Structure 1
Amino acid sequence: MKSFVVSLKTAVDRRTHIENQFMQQEIDFSFFDAIEPQQVEDLAAQLAIRIGNCHLSQGELGCLFSHILLWKKAIDENIDYVAIFEDDIYLGEHAKAFLSDHEWIKAQWDIIKIEKNSAFNYLSLTDKTSLANDRVISRLLNPNFGTAGYILSNKAAQSLLYYIQSLSAIDHIDQIIFKKYLKHGAYPIYQVNPALCIQEYLLYPDDKKFQSSLSWRSSYKKKERNPLNKIKRELVRVFLQLYRLPFKVKIIFK
């Protein structure tokens, strides 16, 4: 297991914060210098990733390619498991037990979401396993966004890279992993609960220290042209919420 934190080289306050978080639990990690906008076009050509049709900003593309290059690093260096974090996270209790090695990871757990990004997730009632320190890992059943903390096996990194290269139009990195790949990808995705990390803006919504540095998501909104489509979508959403209700699980961070 190797842990990497995506961070701009100039983000001194964020890097100091991350060093404190990992040092407090004596967890080894490395910074990975975030890709900047001027690097995106060349990387897209080198990696055969189609960026021409997307609505992402240059900052969002930089964030996406930062994650992709970490997948490629894991592949090229034959790293068994890689834990990838963004630089505004707080680590939970006993995180070291899960980030020091991969002995706890079963063969079928190739993609593991270890962050709390929402109040609830929809998780399998049967495909779940108890872990150390009163945690549980369960198969994720529905899209759940954010890429502030996740673990990939080497073969999952290969699968994700191949998958993103196959897309005719790319999207936000979390939309690709935790929505599109969740539905169409080769490997299932699992969630650890209580989560091992959380972003600052979720943990301290009224006392944020960090301003956005990676332009992770812009204010882009898709225009709704047909009111009837909006009504249909709302009806489907309500039906799905009722159908999924037995699988709704509160996500905790501790």
Structure 2
Amino acid sequence: MRTFIINLPESISRRERMIKHCKEINIEPEFIEAILGRAFSIEEVKRKSRALTEVRTPGEFGCALSHISIYKKMVDEKISVALILEDDVSLNENARDVLDMIENKISSDEIILLNSAKQYLNRPIHKMNGYTTYPIIEADLTCSYVITLAAAESMLKFLYPVWLAADRWPFFRENNVAKISFINPPLSNLNELSSETTINGRDSEDYISENSIIWKKIRSQRPWFTKIKNILWKLVIKKYYKVIKLS
């Protein structure tokens, strides 16, 4: 399984840390230059974005394009499955063994998050020596996940031009972009560098309020059959499966 790590060229200490970490757990990394959102002019951002978009800060824009660039690379090079990491994450000591099992078990159109989900459906998908994958209900972060070629192709088509944050996992599931699951116990966690985020400008009250309005518009424009399918899916969940909430 190829491993891609998104890293800004100027973040040398993060790169060196990831090189050392990958060596310790026997993973060979390939560094992908993170796309700097603030390097684009307003006109360039407009050309690369949909008219209705929730991605409104340079950091979010760069993050979205960085992940999209890997999906494109997978499609262009026909990479069957890949591990995508951001440079502020740490993997468990046994990650290599678990990743080998994931590569053998993963469905053709699946994305498996290696970080914890917020809510998941208690319906096991893959069982692997003490690790189990489950369908996500609520999850965020793009710090660590395994993705197949078919899923990467679907994500590329769905996300470009840019209009969604890179970690809208529940929305991707709702729209049948890919099967989205997570592994439990988690195989990764954010390290101490994660507090030094390179994505800024999302904490102001104005931003949060405006983004809430935009998100409602985006959800209102879903196809009617997607809305109905999601309602039916929730009804089935409540009737047949337990929803597990994690703190």
Q: TM-score with structure 2 length normalisation? A: 0.76
Residue 120 of structure 2 corresponds to 122
Segments of 4+ in structure 1 off by > 3 A? 39-45, 51-55, 98-103, 208-211, 223-226
Deviations 1:217-252 (A, max 9, x none): 7213126999xxxxxxxxxxxxx9xx599320658x
Deviations 1:106-128 (A, max 9, x none): 43562111112x5x432232x42
Q: What's the % identity of the aligned pairs?
A: 22
Residue 166 of structure 2 corresponds to 173
Q: 1:15 to 1:101 in 2, by over 3 A?
A: farther
Alignment of 1:197-216 (within 5 A): 197-200=188-191, 208-209=192-193, 212-215=196-199
Q: 1:225 to 1:62 in 2, by over 3 A?
A: closer
> In 2, Cα distance between the equivalents of 1:216 and 1:100?
35
Q: 1:105 to 1:12 in 2, by over 3 A?
A: same
> In 1, Cα distance between the equivalents of 2:44 and 2:166?
18
Amino acid across the alignment from 1:27: I
Deviations 1:69-127 (A, max 9, x none): 000001101101011111011111310113358642243562111112x5x432232x4
Comparing 213-222 with 71-80, greater Cα deviation is found at 213-222
Q: 1:114 to 1:51 in 2, by over 3 A?
A: farther
Give, in angstroms, the shift of residue 51 of structure 1: 6.2
Alignment of 1:104-253 (within 5 A): 104-108=104-108, 110-116=110-116, 120-125=118-123, 127-132=124-129, 134-140=130-136, 142-165=137-160, 170-175=163-168, 178-200=169-191, 208-209=192-193, 212-215=196-199, 218-219=202-203, 220-222=207-209, 243=238, 246-248=242-244, 250=246
Aligned residue pairs, count: 220
Deviations 1:159-180 (A, max 9, x none): 1111123x7x7122112xx021
1:98 is paired with a residue whose SS is helix
Cα RMSD, aligned residues only: 3.3
Gaps of 5+ in 1: 201-207, 227-239
Higher helix fraction (1 or 2): 2
Q: 1:44 to 1:2 in 2, by over 3 A?
A: farther
Given that residues 123 and 249 in structure 1 are in contact (C-alpha distance below 8 angstroms), is that contact kept between their aligned partners in structure 2? Answer: no
1:192 is paired with a residue whose SS is strand
Q: 1:21 to 1:87 in 2, by over 3 A?
A: same
1:10 is paired with a residue whose SS is coil
Q: 1:152 to 1:224 in 2, by over 3 A?
A: closer
Q: 1:51 to 1:115 in 2, by over 3 A?
A: farther
Q: TM-score with structure 1 length normalisation? A: 0.74
